[in-house]
Chain A
C-alpha cells in the first residue's frame, strides 16, 4: 500500500521537475558540425571564409568531422579549425587577422560560443571585419530528463540505497542502526589501506582489490553481528548500542590513518563505482540486484517471515518458537554488511578513502526507509518502498540543484519530505 502511493508521488515530482527544468539543450557532435557548415554556406556562399572553433571536449572530433565532410565539397571555401583552449583560439584569430584579413564567420561549439575570446573577436581584431558568430541552435528539453542527468541521479544515490537495504531489514525487525555511516567510512578506509599497504598501491592487481574489499565488508559485517548480539542477548536498546558503535567505528577509522586520506588505488578500482559496462552504471546494477535479492528474502524465505513477525511483536514471536535472538543478530549483520559494501562502492566512486566518508549518511538512509513506507515501529515494510524512497530523495536533491535552490533551503525541503512521510505513516496506522 505504502509503496504504491510513494511511487505515485515520485512520478509527480519527476513530472514537476521536468516541467521546471525545460531549457535550451545544445547539440554537439557530427550533426552540429554539419549544421554549422551548411549554415556557413547558405549565409556566405561558395567563397566563404570561416574558422571552426571548439573546446577539446568529448564530441569535438565528431563536430570537426561533420563540419569538414560538408565543407570539403566546396573547395573554394577558406577554412581553418581550432580545437582547444580559448588561448589557442586567440592565437588562431590573431594569425588569421595578420595573414588573411577579413573573416566571414566563426563557427562555434556551444561552449566556445560563450567564451569572451569569440564574443569580443571583432573588437579585439578589427582586421577580421565583423565575423558572424554561428552556433548550433538548441532544442528545448527538460534538463532533468537528460540521459546523463538520470544516470547521475542513480549513481549519486547508489551508496545510500545499498546501505538502505540493510537498514530496511533492521527497521522491519523493530530496531534501528545508527552506525551505518561510520561503517561506510571504516570499510572504505580498510579496503584502501589493504590495497595501499599490502596490495601494491597504484599497481595492485584485481585479486588484491577484491581481497581488500572483502576485508572491509567482512569487518563491518562482523561489527554488525556484534551489535546484533548486544541487542539480542544483553537486551540493550538498539539506538544506544548503535550510537556507541558509530563513535567507535568513526574513531577507529580516523586513528588508522591519523585523519589523513588514502588515495593510492589503481585506476581499475573505479570500475565498480564509475564504470558502466552495459550503459547503466555498474553500481546501479549492483544496487538493483541487491534489492531484488533482499525483497525475495523478505517475502519468500522463512528468515523474512521471522523478521516481520519479530518486528510486529517480539514477545509473541518468541512464544511462537521463532529464534528471535538469531534473527536479530542476522538483521544487524546484514546492515553492517551492506554498509561495508556501500563503503567499497563509495571509495570506488571517489578513487580514495577518507575517514570522514559516510558522515551523516545514517540519517539519509533512515529517511529513505521511512519515506519508502516502512514503519519505524517495525513489522511491516518493503525493499521496493525503500528503493522508491531513496529515488525520491535523490530526485528531489538533483532537482533542487538543477533549479539552483540554495543549500539551506534544500535542507528545509528534505526535512519537510521526511516529516510528511512520517505523518502519513501515522495516518495509515491509525
Chain B
C-alpha cells in the first residue's frame, strides 16, 4: 500500500495538472483557430451561424488543404460557420467526425471519403436527418446513399490531354510508352482510360506513327515504388520513348530512375496533378507536362453547390472541373514552380 501522503500528493498533482490542461484547451478554443480548423472569422454571433461540416481524407496533402480553405472562404462570406477536419485516412475516424457534425446540428456535410463503403452508414444517418451530403474529389457510388452532388476533377478529360501531350512530343515517329498506374483509385483508372482512348484514336488515324503502350506497371502513386517500376520497365523494354505517370509523386520517381539510367534526355515523362514539386520539375524539363488540377475550384464549386441547394435551385449531381495541360513555358512564369 502506498503511503497515504504519497497518494494524496499524486491525486493533487494529477488534479492540478488536468485542470491546467482543460483550461489550456478551453483557452485555445476561445482564442480561435490555429492551423487546419477553419472557423469563419466572427465573434459571439458565431454560435448562431449555420454550421457546415467538412471531413477530408487528409490535410497532410496541400491539395486537400486548398479545397478546405476555399470552402471556408466562400461559405464564410455567405454567413456560414465552416469546420474542416482531417479523417487521417481512417474510415472509423471519419464516421465519428460526421456523427459529431450531425450532433452539432450541421446544415450540410462535405466529405472526401476515406473508404466509400465504410462511409455508407453515416451518410445514411445524415440522409435520415435530412442533412444534405456533398462529396469532393473522391466519390461514393454505393447503393442506398443520397448524395446531392459529387465535385471532382475531370480525370477522364485529363487523361485525354496527357495523351495529346504525348502525341505532340513523340511526333511522326511514334514509339513505345509505359504507363505507371495506381489501380486502386478510381481517379487514376479514369486518367489511364482517357489516355488509352486518345492513343487508340491516334493510332487508327496514323498507323505509321503508332504509339504503343507496351507495359502498365503499379507505381503505388509514390516516388519510391514508381522508381522501381520504371527501372523494371526500362529493363523489359529498352526502346521506350515515353512514360505516363498518374500523379506527380509517381512522375518524380520515374524521373529519378531515368536520371540514374542516363535516359533522362531520350524518354519523355508526362505526369498529373500540378503540385508545386511537379511544376518545379516541369520548369527544369524533367517532366514534359502535367494536366493540372485546380483544388481551389473544387472547393469553390462544392461551396457554390451547397449555396444553390440551400436556395432550392438546381444542383447537378456531378460537377467536373476540367484540367489544363501545363508545360515548361507555363512553369517559367509561375511563382509556384520556383
Q: B-contacting residues of A (Cβ < 8 Å)?
A: 1, 4-6, 8-9, 12-13, 16-17, 20, 23-24, 26, 54-58, 60, 85-91, 110-111, 114-117, 120, 124, 143, 146, 148-149, 152, 156, 159, 259-263, 270, 274, 346, 349-352, 354, 356-357, 359-360, 397-409, 413, 416-417, 420, 424, 427-428, 430
Distance (whole angstroms) from the CB of A407 to the closest CB of chain B: 5
A351 to B129, CA, bound (A): 19
Q: Could you say which residues of chain A place their CB within 8 Å of the CB of B25?
A: 16, 399-400, 403, 405, 413
Contact with A along B66-81 (1 / 0, CB 8 A): 0000000000001000
Cα distance A148–B164 in the bound complex, in angstroms: 54
Say whether B100 faces chain A, with CB atoms less than 8 Å apart. yes
Which 6 A-B residue pairings sit nearest by Cβ, starting from the closest? A90-B312, A406-B37, A55-B130, A57-B130, A263-B117, A114-B50
Q: CA–CA, A360 to B87, complex, Å?
A: 13
Query: 27 A-B contacts, Cβ less than 8 Å apart?
Result: A4-B11, A5-B15, A8-B15, A9-B14, A13-B22, A23-B104, A54-B130, A57-B130, A91-B312, A114-B107, A115-B310, A116-B78, A143-B103, A152-B99, A261-B117, A261-B118, A263-B117, A274-B121, A350-B92, A350-B118, A356-B115, A399-B25, A403-B25, A404-B37, A408-B59, A424-B14, A427-B13
Q: Is the CB of A86 within 8 A of B310?
A: yes
The reply to whether A16 and B26 form a contact with Cβ atoms under 8 Å apart is yes
From B99, B121, B310, B314, contact of A116 by CB (8 A) = B310
A89–B25 Cα gap in the complex (Å)?
A: 42
Residues of B near A159 (CB, < 8 A) are: 92
- The reply on B313 being an interface residue by CB < 8 A is yes
B11 to chain A: closest CB distance in Å?
Answer: 4
CB of B184 within 8 Å of the partner chain: yes
- Closest Cβ of chain B to A215, distance in Å, is 21
Q: Does B297 sit at the interface, judged by CB under 8 A?
A: no
Select from chain A the residue with minimum beta-carbon distance to B88: A407
Judging by beta carbons under 8 Å apart, are B35 and A408 in contact?
A: yes
Say whether chain A's binding surface is mostly helix, strand, loop, or mixed. helix
- Say yes or no: B91 contacts A407, CB within 8 Å: no
How far does the alpha carbon of A226 sit from the alpha carbon of B120 in the complex, in Å?
36
Contacts of B6 in A (CB 8 A): 427-428, 430
Asked whether, in the complex, the Cβ of B37 is within 8 Å of the Cβ of A5, the reply is: no
Contact of B85 among A89, A111, A407, A417 (CB under 8 A): A407
> Residue on B with the closest CB to A5?
B11
* Cβ contact within 8 Å between A86 and B13: no
A228 to chain B, nearest CB (A): 27
Residues in B whose Cβ lies below 8 Å from that of A430: 6
Interface class of chain B by DSSP: helix
Question: Min CB distance, A377 to chain B, in Å?
Answer: 15
Please indicate the chain B residues that have their CB under 8 angstroms from the CB of A409 in the complex: 28, 34-35, 37
Between A86, A360, A400, A404, the greatest number of chain B beta carbons within 10 A of the residue's beta carbon is seen for: A404
Of B11, B105, B309, the contact of A8 (CB 8 Å cutoff): B11
Q: A residues within 8 A CB of B117?
A: 261-263, 350-352, 354
Assess whether B311 is in contact with A90, with CB atoms less than 8 Å apart.
yes
- What residues on B are CB-neighbors of A120 within 8 Å? 311
Given A12-B19, A20-B26, is A111 in contact with B312 using a C-beta cutoff of 8 Å? no
Tell me which of B28, B142, B312 contacts A88 (CB under 8 A).
Answer: B312
Instruction: Given the known inter-chain contacts A116-B307, A350-B121, please indicate yes or no for A111 contacting B131, CB distance below 8 A.
Output: yes
Q: CA of A20 to CA of B103 in the docked complex: distance in angstroms?
A: 16
Q: B2 at interface (Cβ–Cβ under 8 A)?
A: yes
B7 within 8 A of A: yes
Q: Are B18 and A12 in contact, CB atoms less than 8 angstroms apart?
A: yes
- What's the Cα separation between A416 and B78 when bound, in Å? 38
CA distance A406 to B15 in the complex (A): 25
CA of A89 to CA of B86 in the docked complex: distance in angstroms? Answer: 34
The answer for the CA separation of A346 and B95 in the assembled complex, in Å, is 11
Question: A424 touching B13 by the CB < 8 A rule?
Answer: yes
- Shortest C-beta distance, B46 to chain A (Å), equals 10
Complex Cα–Cα for A102 and B147 (A)? 35
Query: With A90-B312, A350-B91 in contact, do A60 and B120 touch (Cβ < 8 Å)?
Result: no
Closest to A26 in B: B105
Q: Are B14 and A357 in contact (CB-based, < 8 A)? A: no
B141 → chain A closest CB, angstroms: 12
Contact A9 B18 (CB under 8 A): yes
**Interchain CB contact under 8 A, A352 and B21:** no
Closest to A110 in B: B105
Within 8 A of A (CB), among B6-33: 6-7, 9-11, 13-15, 17-19, 21-23, 25-26, 28-29, 33
How far, in Å, is A423 (CB) from chain B's closest CB?
Answer: 8
In the complex, what distance in Å separates the CA atom of A406 from the CA atom of B59? 11
Other A-B contacts than A111-B130, A409-B37, 10 sampled, CB-CB below 8 A, are A5-B15, A57-B130, A87-B313, A111-B105, A149-B100, A152-B103, A349-B92, A407-B85, A416-B21, A427-B9
Closest residue of A by beta carbon distance from B1: A1
Q: A12-B19, A16-B26, A405-B28 are in contact. Are A359 and B90 (CB under 8 A)?
A: yes
